[in-house]
Amino acid sequence: MGQRQYFGTDGIRGHVGEAPITAEFALRLGNAAGRVLAQDNQRTVLIGKDTRLSGYMLEAALQAGLIAAGANAQLLGPIPTPGVAQLVKQTGACAGIVISASHNPHHDNGFKFFSAAGEKLSDGVEQAIEDALADTFFNCPPDMLGKASRMVDAGARYLDFCQASVSEGFHLRGLRLVLDCAHGATYKLAPQLFAGLGAEVYSTGVAPDGLNINSECGSTHPRALQAAVLEQNADIGIAFDGDGDRLMLVDRGGGILDGDDLLHLLAAVWHQQGRLRGPVVGTLMTNFALEKRFAELGIPFERANVGDRFVHERLVSLDGMLGGEASGHILCLDRAGTGDALVNALQVLEALQTSGRSAADWRESMPRFPQQTVNVRVPRGARPLQSERVQAERARIETLLAGRGRLVLRASGTEPLVRVTVEAESADEVAELASTLAQAVSSAAQASSAA
């Protein structure tokens, strides 16, 4: 197998109009995916998208490539990414493709793939698609071409799945709720879901024009939601990202609950209920306060590399069910096989009701450790992390912080940077230790590049 050129940790992504996010590439990608993913007894691939203007272009090209390869394309229209994953399983399709760049601006787009099981493709299948991309474009004989159709009730099917994720009799009557849908894929479905459960809903970010997705709104820009919650005197606010796989909460006082807060709330309530299974999985960047809090509660905790793909793999390997990142990408694997912001929002609201405590109370019960990350730019080819001085300084700081803080030292996978992250109870100590280690990395990098 050749070297992977296009697939990253979350599908294929880039700037629209620049390779690989072009109509020509989407045509070839659909053709390659059709050849690899379509089976003799099931040749239908579901295609969903968010609200980006470029989605029309990429959808048409992707569809043509699939049909030329003999696969059927079933179009879902704008729908959250996890909705595609769920509908693939529900309909027995051979695969699903989402045209989205998640929380990125409108000028970016990409392709996310799901297997017949509604999970991200394995490395081997992604490599097979890349290998097929290198082959000549394949056109079936005229009588073997695929067909295109549209699933007109895709949104309704997905909402039924979301509503079934909570306990029978669960409702939101009496709750005043603000939703920020980021002008993205949840813009129709989220208000319907929460209003249907009885909440009084005020919605923002629900007027997509193809260019305003994630623009100063949604889970990556929660200030808009904070202001709306205070203005509407709401009980709680929920912000989604452009493709509906991340969320942030805002309490009635305007305080933000990020992914670490939500993991704390869900794990604590589910642990008490006996629902929690296996360890909770965070990432290298999960705040040390959460790890410390879980130790106090007797909840096992593990860390994975940054990225929901790695969190998912770790959960599966440990037979766990709950994990996520501070970005709000949460995995509740006993309810959904991928990060599903609508399902997760319902799980959080149900856990809040069960606990009898407010969102603000939960947020305040886990004060964060000050954290600082210093990005040290290094010459290409330099290997400062192998330096004896850096390793000695790292060991000294880790010993100093043992049991009361944390150090993460890692090279960026995409840029010539070494990231130095320090957490501890004292902000002054964090700044001092991060600066000291960053200087050691910089000096070692310069020395290794000059050698």
Catalytic residues: 102
Instruction: Outline where DSSP puts E strands in 69-205.
Output: 72-78, 95-99, 108-114, 148-150, 176-180, 200-204
Instruction: Determine if the peptide bond prior to 82 is cis (ω within 30°).
Output: no
- Judge contact between 397 and 414, C-beta under 8 A: no
- Judge contact between 408 and 284, C-beta under 8 A: yes
For 380-405, the three-class secondary structure string (H helix, E strand, C coil) is CCCCHHHCHHHHHHHHHHHHHHCCCE
In order, the DSSP letters of 245-297 are S-EEEEETTS-EE-HHHHHHHHHHHHHHHT---S-EEEETTS-HHHHHHHHHH
Give the C-alpha separation, 50 to 184, whole Å: 6
Please name the amino acid found at residue 210. G
Q: Which residue has the tokens 């009898």?
A: 356
Classify residue 231 by burial, with Cβ atoms within 10 Å: 0-12, 13-18, 19+.
Answer: exposed
* Tokens matching residue 108: 């970016």
Q: Which of 199, 229, 213 is nearest to 100 (CA)?
A: 213
In order, the DSSP letters of 294-354 are HHHHT--EEEE-SSHHHHHHHHHHHT--EEE-TTS-EEETTT-SS--HHHHHHHHHHHHHH
* Tokens matching residue 46: 């579901």
- Judge contact between 360 and 251, C-beta under 8 A: yes
C-beta pairs of 395-399 under 8 Å, 24+ apart in sequence: 397/422, 397/433, 397/436, 397/437
Give the C-alpha separation, 19 to 87, whole Å: 30
